[in-house]
Structure 1
């Protein structure tokens, strides 16, 4: 295999599992960036497809316990999968388990805040921070946005995915959002 010159990062399994436990316990000071980075490292910056997502989504009304089981199975493999947390939350609401559903919302919000990092995403200088392509698309979908176009841009030595999106609810104005992808650019192919 050819050398790429990129150092392979070490997966901190103990730290990752401890951070997951803190998040699941409801701790307020969870480092979601660390969780996202460690999940990306452990999966070589490309999460496996969640083939059961359509089944989990379809079963929400008729079999929420089945949806929850499918979401929990996914979370054992890719704990930072925002779609899996969203399905788990909706299933828990249907099952009347409101405290657990609230905890799932807290986790989703923590993951989203971590991607945003206090930025607007409207320029390279104010870009969101992505650690995988998967989370870019999940972030947009959960935010009610449909991707129209994606472009790669390099600004001052930094790599960005520039996403042109529209609200999924209407055909309104297009919006351009920037994601800094330095943390994984070129690594997902190692």
Structure 2
């Protein structure tokens, strides 16, 4: 019935319909693979990420954080070069776009407070990663720290060894947001 009503609307040229998978459950059968800017994107359920993060920290400790930071730093640096670095926009517009995409992809709400030649300060509210570890005594933002530091390295056209980053506040420790200070070594 709904398909018939939609087909009767002026301007509707065609309608594709997929029946429910089973009673009460509908799925999108057309959008594979999901993409953004022509590149495939992957979605993770919260439970999958929580399991991965908790077990990784439990089994590997700080080594897990090092691995995550390193991987996400380089991923963010490549993304800056291949995406943000090719956008013809002002630096402030690139920052705004970054903050919005960070939110859109579910990492948290990014606010770049300071962005100078050799110093950056970024806050992340509602960090998906650090919320997993509420009650921890140490910061737990390895993924987010890597993403932000890698992006900043791209913004500064700096290399991995030129960047130093420290998480000074963390939701996991009870702070209202995570705060990262990034320095460029001279």
TM-score, with length taken from structure 1:
0.28
